[in-house]
C-alpha cells in the first residue's frame, strides 16, 4: 500500500525567515515497507520534490530511505537485479542508514550543526522531523541549509538597520526624522501595513510619527480612537507588549474612521527608566498574526524609539535650560549696564566735585599765601612769630600741592590735561627729583642709588607731567620704606611691553624700594583714584614720613600721565608685610623718541 505524500508548508502568512525546523517545507511520505523498490522508484520519479520515503510496517515507522541512497544503490552493479522487485525494506536493511529524528521545534541552527556532524557518508541525508506521535516528515538537508543562510542574511539585515538607526540617533536630534527612519527601517524587517510611534503625554497618546496611514486620515480623530482603545491603554499600564490576532474579533476595538480597518496588530510600550514614554503600534490589514520572533525584533526598534524619545526630551530640557540661562544673563547684563551707567555718573560727579572744589580752594590759598608773604616782610616780627609764619607757609605749600594733584586727576579724567611733547632726558629729570628729596632720604637714612639710566635715549613727552609722575613714585617709595631702607631707580631699553608683546623701542624705568610691599590683590586697585591700602587712620602725617598721609591720588595721576604718553605702568610686589618688608617695584614703560628708533 502506498500513502499519498503530504507536504507540510509553513503556517499561513509566514513573514519572516523560519527559526525552527517545523516551519520549513517538509514531506509526509509514509509508505508500507512491503512496497517493492520499483514501486517506490516510480513514486519518487513522479514526485520530484520528495527527498525520500518513510517506511512503515503495520503502521509503525521502521526507517527512512533517501532518494539519494535508493538511486545510488540501484546504480551499483547488481543493484537493480538484486533489489528492484523486492520489498523496499530489504534495501533499507542492507543500507543500514541510521535515522535522525529531530523534534519540529528544534532551532534551525542547532539542526544544521547536528546534521553536519553526522558521518561524512550520510552528512547530506534528509532529516526526519517529528511533529508529535507518529507524524513524521522528511526534510531535505538543502532546504535546511538554505533556511540557515536566509536566517543569517536576515540577521545581517536587522543589524544593518539597527546600525543605520543608531547612526541617525547619535547624529541627529531631530526627533521626527529619527522616528520616521525607525518606522521605515522596521518595514523592511517586519512587513506591516501601517505603523505609528505614539507619545504618552499627560495621560494621553499623541502621534509622534506614522507610516502607511492614508493621506487624508484625520490624525486628531486617530488620536481620540487611540486613547479610547482598551488594548492600547493596557500596554501603558502593564508596560508589556501585546498582540491581537484579529482585531475584527475584538468588539471594543476602536477603528479609525475612513481608514481600512486593522486586522492583526502588535503594540509595544516605549519604556525608559520604568517610565512609559509612548508606544509603538504596528498594524496589518490582513489576518497575519505577528510571531514571537517578530515581537522580539520589533522590541529592538521600540528600544531605539525609546532612546530617541528620551534623547529628545533631554535635549529639550537642555534647550529650555539654555533659554532660561540666556534670559537670566540678559537680565543680569541689563542690571550691570544700569549699575555701570550709575557708577559712571557717580565717577563723573566725583571728578566734577574734585575739579570745582580744588578750584574753589585754590583762591583762598592764594590769598592766605599772599598775606603770609606780606607778613614775612615785616622786619619788626619776633622770632617766634616768624617761625609760626614759616610753618604756616610750609602747610600752605603742601595744601597747594594737594590741590594741584586733585586738579591733575580731574584734568586727566576729563582728558583736559594739556601736554606739550618735547625731547625729555629722563636721567636729568629723575636726578632733579631725587635731589629734591635727598634731604628727606638722608634724614630717614634711606640708601639711594640710580643704576643704568645714564646714556638712555630721550623720550618724547611733557617734562612737567613726567616729572609729576616720577615724583609720585619716588615719594611713595620713600613714604612706604621704613628708616634705613633702600631705594633704587634703574632704566633699560626694551622692545616688549608688560605682557611680553613686541612694541616699538621703549624705556623701562623701575623704582624699587625695600618697603612694606603691596598685597597682589591691590596691584591694580592702587592705581584707582582715592584707593589706599591699610587703615587710613594709622597713617602719620607728612609728605615723606614713613607711612605719611596721602590723598590716594598719586598713582592715579602717575598712571594717567604715563598712559597719555602711550606707556604702561604697573607694580610688582610679593605682598604687604611691615615686619619683613618685601618691597615693591614700580615699572614705567615710555616709548623712546622716534629719532633713536634706528639705534635700537
Nearer to ligand ADP, 72 or 577 (CB): 577
Quote the CA–CA distance of 86 and 93 in Å, as a whole number.
12
Quote the CA–CA distance of 341 and 343 in Å, as a whole number.
5
550 touches ligand ADP (CB under 6 A): yes
CB of 316 to ligand ADP, least distance (A): 54
- Beta-strand relationship, 568-572 and 584-591: antiparallel
Nearer to ligand ADP, 534 or 591 (CB): 534
Q: Which of 206, 551, 564, 596 binds ligand ADP (CB under 6 A)?
A: 551
Nearer to ligand ADP, 182 or 556 (CB): 556
CB of 489 to ligand ADP, least distance (A): 12
Please check whether residue 37 is in contact with residue 86, taking contact to mean a CB–CB distance below 8 angstroms: yes
Please check whether residue 498 is in contact with residue 510, taking contact to mean a CB–CB distance below 8 angstroms: no
406 touches ligand ADP (CB under 6 A): no
CB of 421 to ligand ADP, least distance (A): 25
512 touches ligand ADP (CB under 6 A): no
CB of 485 to ligand ADP, least distance (A): 10
CB of 536 to ligand ADP, least distance (A): 8
Q: Report the residue number whose CB is nearest to ligand ADP.
A: 550
Mark out the alpha helices in 26-174 (DSSP H runs). Answer: 37-46, 67-74, 79-83, 88-95, 108-116, 141-171
Distance of CA 439 to the CA centre of its chain: 67
Q: Which of 28, 369, 458, 532 binds ligand ADP (CB under 6 A)?
A: 532
DSSP state of 286: S
Nearer to ligand ADP, 288 or 508 (CB): 508
Interface with ligand ADP (CB under 6 A), residue total 21
526 touches ligand ADP (CB under 6 A): yes
CB of 404 to ligand ADP, least distance (A): 13
Nearer to ligand ADP, 294 or 513 (CB): 513
Only one of the segments 222-230, 489-497, 499-507, 528-536 lies at the binding site for ligand ADP (rule: CB under 6 A); that segment is 528-536
Nearer to ligand ADP, 89 or 576 (CB): 576
533 touches ligand ADP (CB under 6 A): yes
Of 282, 284, 249, which Cα lies nearest the Cα of 267? 282
| Residue 233 exposure: Cα atoms within 13 Å on the Cβ side | 13
Q: Which of 33, 516, 588, 590 binds ligand ADP (CB under 6 A)?
A: 516
485 touches ligand ADP (CB under 6 A): no
- Which string of x and - marks every residue 554-583 that binds ligand ADP (by CB under 6 A)? xxx---------------------------
Interacting positions 433-472 with ligand ADP (CB under 6 A): 472
478 touches ligand ADP (CB under 6 A): no
Quote the CA–CA distance of 181 and 161 in Å, as a whole number.
10
Please check whether residue 574 is in contact with residue 582, taking contact to mean a CB–CB distance below 8 angstroms: yes
546 touches ligand ADP (CB under 6 A): no
CB of 322 to ligand ADP, least distance (A): 44
The backbone torsions φ and ψ at residue 128, rounded to the nearest 5 degrees and listed phi first, read: -95, 125
CB of 424 to ligand ADP, least distance (A): 22
DSSP state of 599: G
Residues 6 or more apart whose CB falls under 8 angstroms from that of 405 comprise 551, 553, 554, 557
DSSP string, 506-566: EEEEEEEE-SS---GGGTTGGGSTT---S-GGGPBPSSSSTTB---S-HHHHHHHHHHHTT
Please check whether residue 77 is in contact with residue 53, taking contact to mean a CB–CB distance below 8 angstroms: no
DSSP state of 24: S
Cα angle 234-240-245, degrees, rounded to a multiple of 5? 75
Only one of the segments 141-149, 295-303, 328-336, 550-558 lies at the binding site for ligand ADP (rule: CB under 6 A); that segment is 550-558
Nearer to ligand ADP, 7 or 541 (CB): 541
Quote the CA–CA distance of 468 and 445 in Å, as a whole number.
24
Only one of the segments 50-58, 105-113, 436-444, 476-484 lies at the binding site for ligand ADP (rule: CB under 6 A); that segment is 476-484
476 touches ligand ADP (CB under 6 A): yes
User: Beta-strand (E) ranges in 255-411?
Assistant: 264-272, 275-284
Other C-beta atoms lying within 10 Å of the C-beta of residue 372: 16
243 touches ligand ADP (CB under 6 A): no
Interface residues with ligand ADP (CB under 6 A) are 472, 476-477, 480, 513, 515-516, 518, 526, 531-534, 550-556, 584
Amino acid at each position: 500500500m502506498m500513502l499519498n505524500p503530504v507536504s507540510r508548508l509553513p503556517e499561513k502568512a509566514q513573514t519572516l525567515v523560519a527559526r525552527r525546523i517545523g516551519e520549513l517545507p517538509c514531506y509526509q511520505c509514509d509508505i508500507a515497507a512491503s512496497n517493492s523498490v520499483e514501486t517506490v522508484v516510480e513514486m519518487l520519479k513522479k514526485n520530484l520534490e520528495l527527498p525520500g520515503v518513510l517506511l512503515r510496517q503495520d503502521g509503525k515507522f521502521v526507517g527512512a530511505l533517501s532518494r539519494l541512497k535508493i538511486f545510488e544503490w540501484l546504480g551499483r552493479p547488481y543493484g537493480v537485479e538484486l533489489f528492484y522487485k523486492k520489498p523496499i525494506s530489504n534495501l533499507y536493511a542492507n543500507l543500514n542508514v541510521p535515522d535522525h529524528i529531530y523534534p519540529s521545534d528544534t532551532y534551525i541552527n542547532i539542526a544544521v550543526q547536528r546534521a553536519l556532524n553526522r558521518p561524512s557518508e550520510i552528512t547530506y541525508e534528509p532529516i526526519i522531523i517529528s511533529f508529535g506521535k507518529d507524524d513524521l516528515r522528511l526534510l531535505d538537508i538543502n532546504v535546511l541549509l538554505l533556511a540557515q543562510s536566509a536566517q543569517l542574511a536576515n540577521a545581517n539585515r536587522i543589524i544593518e538597520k539597527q546600525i543605520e538607526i543608531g547612526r541617525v540617533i547619535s547624529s541627529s536630534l531631530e526627533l521626527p526624522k529619527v522616528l520616521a527612519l525607525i518606522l521605515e527601517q522596521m518595514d523592511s524587517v517586519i512587513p506591516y501595513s501601517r505603523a505609528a510611534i505614539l507619545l504618552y503625554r499627560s495621560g494621553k497618546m499623541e502621534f509622534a510619527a506614522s507610516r502607511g496611514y492614508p493621506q487624508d486620515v484625520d490624525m486628531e480623530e486617530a488620536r481620540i480612537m487611540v486613547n479610547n482603545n482598551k488594548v492600547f491603554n493596557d500596554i501603558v499600564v502593564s508596560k508589556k507588549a501585546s498582540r491581537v490576532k484579529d482585531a475584527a474579533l475584538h468588539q471594543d476595538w476602536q477603528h479609525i474612521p475612513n481608514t481600512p480597518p486593522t486586522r492583526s496588530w502588535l503594540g509595544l510600550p516605549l519604556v525608559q527608566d520604568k517610565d512609559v514614554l509612548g508606544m509603538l503600534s504596528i498594524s496589518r490589514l490582513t489576518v497575519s498574526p505577528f510571531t514571537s520572533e517578530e515581537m522580539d525584533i520589533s522590541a529592538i526598534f521600540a528600544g531605539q524609539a525609546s532612546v530617541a524619545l528620551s534623547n529628545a526630551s533631554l535635549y529639550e530640557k537642555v534647550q529650555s535650560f539654555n533659554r532660561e540661562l540666556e534670559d537670566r544673563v540678559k537680565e543680569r547684563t541689563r542690571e550691570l549696564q544700569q549699575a555701570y551707567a550709575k557708577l559712571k555718573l557717580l565717577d563723573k560727579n566725583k571728578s566734577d566735585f574734585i575739579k570745582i572744589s580744588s578750584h574753589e580752594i585754590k583762591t583762598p590759598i592764594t590769598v592766605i599765601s599772599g598775606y603770609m608773604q606780606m607778613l614775612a616782610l615785616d622786619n619788626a616780627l619776633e622770632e617766634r612769630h616768624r617761625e609760626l609764619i614759616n610753618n604756616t607757609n610750609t602747610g600752605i605749600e603742601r595744601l597747594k600741592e594737594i590741590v594741584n594733584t586733585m586738579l591733575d586727576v580731574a584734568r586727566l579724567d576729563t582728558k583736559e590735561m594739556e601736554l606739550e611733547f618735547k625731547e625729555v632726558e629722563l636721567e636729568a629729570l629723575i636726578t632733579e627729583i631725587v635731589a629734591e628729596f635727598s634731604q628727606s632720604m638722608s634724614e630717614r637714612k634711606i640708601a639711594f642709588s640710580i643704576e643704568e639710566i645714564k646714556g638712555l635715549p630721550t623720550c618724547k613727552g611733557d617734562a612737567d607731567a613726567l616729572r609729576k609722575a616720577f615724583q609720585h613714585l619716588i615719594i611713595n617709595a620713600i613714604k612706604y620704606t621704613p628708616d634705613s631702607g633702600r631705594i633704587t631707580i634703574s632704566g633699560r631699553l626694551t622692545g616688549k611691553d608688560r605682557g611680553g608683546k613686541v612694541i616699538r623701542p621703549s624705556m623701562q624705568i623701575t623704582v624699587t624700594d625695600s618697603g612694606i610691599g603691596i598685597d597682589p590683590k591691590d596691584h591694580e586697585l592702587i592705581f584707582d583714584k582715592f584707593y589706599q591700602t591699610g587703615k587710613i587712620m594709622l597713617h602719620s602725617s607728612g609728605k615723606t614720613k614713613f607711612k605719611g598721609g596721602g590723598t590716594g591720588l598719586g598713582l592715579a595721576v602717575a598712571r594717567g600721565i604715563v598712559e597719555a604718553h602711550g606707556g604702561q605702568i604697573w607694580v610688582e610686589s610679593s605682598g604687604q608685610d611691615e615686619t619683613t618688608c618685601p618691597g615693591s617695584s614700580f615699572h614705567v614703560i615710555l616709548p623712546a623718541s622716534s629719532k633713536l628708533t634706528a639705534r635700537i
